[in-house]
Amino acid sequence: MNELDFDIGGDKLREECGVFGIYDLDGGDVASTIYYGLFALQHRGQESCGIAVSDTEGPKGKVSAYKGMGLCNEVFETEHLEQMHGNIGVGHVRYSTAGSSTRENAQPLVLNYVKGTLGLAHNGNLVNAPQLRKELEYTGAIFQTTIDSEVIAYHIARARIGTPNVESAVAAAMKKLSGAYSLVIMSPRKLIGARDPYGFKPLCIGRRDNAYILASETCALETIGAEFVRDVEPGEIVAITREGIASNREMCLPDPAGEARCVFEYIYFSRPDSAFDGVGVYRARLQAGRFLAMDSPVEADLVVGVPESGNAAALGYAMESGIPYGTAFVKNSYVGRTFIKPKQSSRESAVRVKLNVLKEAVAGKRVIMIDDSIVRGTTSALIVNMLRDAGAREVHVKVSAPPFLHPCYFGTDIPDEDQLIAHGRSVEEIRQLIGADSLSYLRMERLKEMAGGKPICTACFSGIYPIEPPQEDIRGSYER
């Protein structure tokens, strides 16, 4: 079960990050709670992780931080957690890309500014980061990382000089920032959360006794035994202090219809046991499966999901269609980051090491296979072929999302257009390429229904961007 980490053939989209923050008013140490919170968010980023804590009653500016490359499991040892004392803290998980995966870029960013220290963790992507960097550099700024968090931190630091408190400085900074961001910020005495006005990325508030929590997903609240309080709203800034939660909504859009939640949080990124802005992710996926059954029915003997993220939609399809749900695949869960990939020349294939077909389940059957997306299509073709080898009589592929056609500038790593199988191809052409007997995608109209009627961003499917995208493709442009 994970929508989580299983990327069958290196052919899944990747989320940018997960953030977590906590402030225990009763003064308890929070480092290990952050650790478990990050565990629950690990599917949002496996490249690097970090924790920074401070003590609201201690000397200003004393921060303990530890960051490293890899999973929480790999980076943190007991002694790290035991040596980090403090009742306020932030944590971060980051995803791995080829280029900029360096220790320098690990978050949270910990820094000193005019009012003491800040710890800052960020999920999302600014579309005007290069321009903001240039502007800052022309006034003497220096940059030691290539992450947007450093740009955001500079704006907060500069805005702070003329503002009464850090949350006002965050608001002032947000006026300059364009793009997707959910932020968790720790100052010496406050925990701040903020979402961009469009609400691209999730951020929720939880509570456990006298501790307040901010997290990318509600599943992190469950994991640490906290109760869900509410979502931070798009454009909202919340400041958690000894006095409780204060809210600043000056950056909220005048008309919520303009909000643009990332629909891919429902389709793939978020864990199924999370709810994003009030809509359960599992339920959304079941619903996508039902829509597929309504909109593109086909006669068959068995409905199966491509593990793990296809399973919920497969169950929804089975419920709606009455065709039995089954299991067709056995996944090898021991294939980790350090897995040695088979060479092209070898007889072994990476897909077969990760995924086997249950012959007994599919032999002689007409199979409906549900996947949440097709990116390059190569893995889909391999899996369809494996099902046929195992004796499936027919293989009908249903995708619980529309075809990917456009780049994302808000924090999702989508390959170049020419690598997208749907780019410049009809559905029939794609069907032939992956070797399926039939192929259908979720209809565009269904997306908003699936997301419970909330305003969503569908740019990767529709090309309609809620914010003007940059003139040139900025992704990766300021990498060392």
Q: Give catalytic status of residue 17 as yes or no.
A: yes
Closest CA to 306 of 280, 329, 274, 278: 329
Residue closer to its own copies, measured from CB, 170 or 422:
170
In this structure, the number of other CB atoms found within 10 A of the CB of residue 318 comes to: 23
- CA atoms of 222 and 22, how far apart (whole Å): 14
Residues 6+ apart with CB under 8 A from 228: 204, 205, 206, 218, 221, 275
Q: Which of residues 334-353 bind its own copies (CB under 8 A)?
A: 334-340, 342-343, 346-349, 352-353
Contact 358, 364 (CB under 8 A): no
Q: Which residue has the tokens 């921060």?
A: 63
Residue closer to its own copies, measured from CB, 77 or 299:
77
Closest CA to 91 of 16, 20, 194: 20
In the complex, the smallest distance separating the C-beta of residue 18 from its own copies, rounded to whole angstroms, is 12
Q: State yes or no: 371 annotated in a binding site.
A: yes
Q: State yes or no: 408 annotated in a binding site.
A: yes
* 160-191 burial code (b ≥16 CB/10 A, e <16): beebebbbbbbbbbbebbbbbbbbbbbbbbbb
Stretch that binds its own copies, among 197-205, 249-257, 308-316, 414-422 (CB under 8 A): 308-316
In the complex, the smallest distance separating the C-beta of residue 247 from its own copies, rounded to whole angstroms, is 26
How many residues of this chain interact with its own copies, rule: CB under 8 A? 115
- CA atoms of 436 and 384, how far apart (whole Å): 7
Stretch that binds its own copies, among 122-130, 150-158, 255-263, 407-415 (CB under 8 A): 150-158
Q: Which of residues 59-88 bind its own copies (CB under 8 A)?
A: 59-66, 71-74, 76-78, 80-81, 83-84
Contact 305, 282 (CB under 8 A): no
Residue closer to its own copies, measured from CB, 63 or 439:
63
In the complex, the smallest distance separating the C-beta of residue 61 from its own copies, rounded to whole angstroms, is 3
Query: Does the footprint of its own copies cover residue 109 (CB under 8 A)?
Result: yes
Q: Print the binding letters for residues 312-331 with its own copies: x by CB under 8 A, - otherwise.
A: x--x---x----xxxx-xxx
In the complex, the smallest distance separating the C-beta of residue 55 from its own copies, rounded to whole angstroms, is 12
Query: Does the footprint of its own copies cover residue 140 (CB under 8 A)?
Result: yes
Annotated binding site for [4Fe-4S] cluster: 262, 408, 457, 460
